[in-house]
Structure 1
């Protein structure tokens, strides 16, 4: 009996030791943060550790002593110092994990993090994008080359007489053409942290809204507060056309030109002090410094009415005579956005300094009916494949006739919202099917027809063990 008790005690001791070791390793992974000034150890220097897991930097401690002495409090009264004055829970650090900063790794490991040989070449990147993104051949080619050159620059870290500049990009394309999806797919393939932010929420510093530094905070959060990892990430700023200069206004333009001015230093590359785990510098959270020199910025926007500016520039040559261009020559041109120039973007409201820091400008095509049909069925995560899998879990096969797919694409073009319209259309006509199918276990196959999409008929079904297709009841009409 005594031997058994001894064994149990030793077992409990071993478990406690393991838990202590795990806790110690976790604590060593993150930097200590000064409770008063919220600076991490890498910036404030060595910390003084007080009871209840309180850390104070030497500068704040000296200021505290100076304040006490100035107010006539003797130094001996510090003997009665009570850590509870800092409102700490016993043995619990008040800094949540989302605001902790990971310690920087040694230099030897840093050099092995990003190897130039591990960067996929442009044709491999484009080939992987082809599996998920339909069409947009030119855009995929441009983004593959730009990303390849950018990460070669990051991996080589060239700082000699020939310095390679950043490959920041500006994507212009109609809504639903796949701008955000293209960037999401790219970041997933490269396995780098990605932050997607909306330019509409950004304002000039000091006004209600997010400061421009908040985009770096989001990237830092995506990198699990690892500064080195974040400095190799990608930031996608969507709706960039919404920060164009406001016209005919007498009030201060805090969400237009001012935001463009604030983004200049981020795009070019500079050391930015950002809050960890928050988007506001005034919050009582730790601050850390992030260098944006190796962060790839991709800006995207629909730029509504940019076509009118392009047509206006192209029609300047129109006049009376045999060699004159017709004024309606470009009215029905589907590729009018591809003729965009820096002059057009300046006319739209983008300042020259901002455009100059986005050297790679390219456009995405509006999706045609043929492309929309391919979007429905060809990508790895196509919408039709998702619904087929859902019904397959009920042991029912789902099939779409080619005419039905064309009808769906036609409806999507009428809505003028690109690929986003496809999901809404399919959800509408699949609702009754997804509701009725589980009722009858005899149904083995459902075939979606054009008549059903156009609300002129019903889908065909086949019962298990039967080759005779039948119409589903009128409740699915």
Structure 2
């Protein structure tokens, strides 16, 4: 062989070695890429350099040189600014004093690993209802008695309805016999405890509760909340857990505000139309609701919630309903031996308890809506004795709250019975039910709460009727003896 032949063979061997090295390099790079993929799931996630949103919020990131990641929203905004902006960027290159940022300049600015630690998601604990765990009606009522004063019939009706409803949910199927829902309608004057009863009930049963206002609901397409927004609020209360939300309670307050308007030629978008829209929810149907928002739009994902097992409780004051009941009851013959006096029902304090479905139809509720609320009960207006009991008997009574506040300053707070009666009398004049009690006590306790921390020698404060009526002051007892002060 000649020298040329040896040179050719050496070159071929060198090429073969280079090809082998390239194959090894490719294998190494594949291993590296595989390792980086495994590293992506190491509890860290990328975040946008511009808006600082993590990948779990902003979506998949766009990788740029020098370990830079940008979300698609910020990238799109940058493109829009460059293409649609009013500034001609081509003219800026030749302007003195204007410098553009090079990608290579970001080497020292950006971190080598633009990642943040992922938030640990708490495992969702879903407590499935067991028929053995559902408390009996008398136990539910006994627990309600600790928080709510009076309203015996309302508490009894609610206890039975809730017990039957959750028995239906727990058993799921009853062979050939299907139990219908026990939706409720509560009628009572303002401040009688409608919302408080529902809040207490949901707390005792440990189920998600959504309280919404019917006044904001309108027909789809009009300004206001859609009908499905009541279900999306329940979903939010259940931490977006659909299964838990489907066993919850929805309380629609001010339901009397969606009564059908009388003698109106305009479209009733917030009255009869809302009642018709609520029919499918009360009956039980699958509704698409947005996750994490009240209104549907393209940026919010939708999920399907079945309202078959959701308990609906509607409540309202229904003003002027008493006049409708009186008119119906007194609409009899006023002559003869069986005649009734016209003012027989004029001063009847329990006139609301005589309400019928026909009275509600006259008020403006459509028959299809009333038919889906089979359990109708009323709450009594609060009298003086009930207001005094509300002040001191419930577990979290207003007086107990103030006693605890002053006990933190090592001061004992007492109220005379006459003082409690004076507070109840003032609340009766306001005609806003139990809500007036808090306002009255806040007014008279202001000076006491201001003055007490000044003097460490005060041991006890006794509120008297004279102080409530503004003709005297409370009795201040020092650590040694009692003397009247704060006149």
Normalising by structure 1, report the TM-score: 0.78
Aligned to 2:185: 170
Aligned to 1:65: none
Give the Cα–Cα distance (whole angstroms) in 2 for the partners of residues 404 and 294 of structure 1: 47
Give the Cα–Cα distance (whole angstroms) in 1 for the partners of residues 486 and 179 of structure 2: 66
Structure 1 segment 311-326 matched on structure 2, within 5 A: 311-326=326-341
Structure 1 segment 231-380 matched on structure 2, within 5 A: 231-282=246-297, 284-380=299-395
- Mapped contact 1:136–1:364 kept (Cα < 8 A): yes
**1:203 and 2:218 are equivalent in the alignment:** yes
**1:141 and 2:156 are equivalent in the alignment:** yes
Aligned to 1:52: 61
Q: 1:320 offset after TM fit, Å? A: 1.7
**1:226 and 2:226 are equivalent in the alignment:** no
| Structure 2 SS opposite 1:381 | coil
**1:150 and 2:176 are equivalent in the alignment:** no
Give the Cα–Cα distance (whole angstroms) in 2 for the partners of residues 219 and 271 of structure 1: 14
Structure 1 segment 49-198 matched on structure 2, within 5 A: 52=61, 85=72, 87=74, 113-198=128-213
Q: 1:379 offset after TM fit, Å? A: 0.5
- The change in CA–CA distance for 1:441 and 1:88 in structure 2 (over 3 A counts) is farther
Give the Cα–Cα distance (whole angstroms) in 2 for the partners of residues 279 and 313 of structure 1: 42
Give the Cα–Cα distance (whole angstroms) in 1 for the partners of residues 245 and 204 of structure 2: 17
Q: 1:277 offset after TM fit, Å? A: 1.1
Q: 1:284 offset after TM fit, Å? A: 1.6
Higher Cα radius of gyration: 2
Pick the aligned partner of 1:406 from 421, 438, 463: 421
**1:460 and 2:469 are equivalent in the alignment:** no
Could you list the runs of 4 or more consecutive aligned residues of structure 1 that deviate by over 6 angstroms after TM superposition? 32-35, 88-93
- Per-residue CA deviation, residues 388-426 of structure 1 (Å, 9 max, x unaligned), is 011111111100000100111111111111000000000
- Per-residue CA deviation, residues 287-341 of structure 1 (Å, 9 max, x unaligned), is 0000000000000000000000000100111412221111110010000000000
- Per-residue CA deviation, residues 157-185 of structure 1 (Å, 9 max, x unaligned), is 02521000000000000000000000000
| Structure 2 SS opposite 1:170 | strand
Q: 1:91 offset after TM fit, Å? A: 6.6
Q: 1:53 offset after TM fit, Å? A: 9.7
- The change in CA–CA distance for 1:162 and 1:429 in structure 2 (over 3 A counts) is same
Give the Cα–Cα distance (whole angstroms) in 1 for the partners of residues 56 and 75 of structure 2: 14
Pick the aligned partner of 1:432 from 438, 443, 447: 447
Aligned to 2:485: 472
Q: 1:282 offset after TM fit, Å? A: 2.5
Give the Cα–Cα distance (whole angstroms) in 2 for the partners of residues 422 and 352 of structure 1: 38
| Structure 2 SS opposite 1:374 | helix
Aligned to 1:70: none
Farther off after superposition, 276-285 or 186-195: 276-285
Q: 1:247 offset after TM fit, Å? A: 1.2
**1:216 and 2:231 are equivalent in the alignment:** yes
| Structure 2 SS opposite 1:317 | coil
Q: Which runs of 5+ in 2 are unaligned?
A: 1-38, 46-54, 64-68, 77-113
- Per-residue CA deviation, residues 342-401 of structure 1 (Å, 9 max, x unaligned), is 000000000000000000000001111111101000001000000001111111110000
- Mapped contact 1:269–1:291 kept (Cα < 8 A): yes
Give the Cα–Cα distance (whole angstroms) in 1 for the partners of residues 321 and 263 of structure 2: 18
Normalising by structure 2, report the TM-score: 0.77
| Structure 1 SS opposite 2:330 | helix
- The change in CA–CA distance for 1:208 and 1:33 in structure 2 (over 3 A counts) is farther
Give the Cα–Cα distance (whole angstroms) in 1 for the partners of residues 303 and 342 of structure 2: 56
Give the Cα–Cα distance (whole angstroms) in 1 for the partners of residues 192 and 230 of structure 2: 24
Q: 1:21 offset after TM fit, Å? A: 5.7
- Mapped contact 2:184–2:373 kept (Cα < 8 A): yes
Q: 1:473 offset after TM fit, Å? A: 3.0
Give the Cα–Cα distance (whole angstroms) in 1 for the partners of residues 315 and 333 of structure 2: 32
- The change in CA–CA distance for 1:258 and 1:368 in structure 2 (over 3 A counts) is same
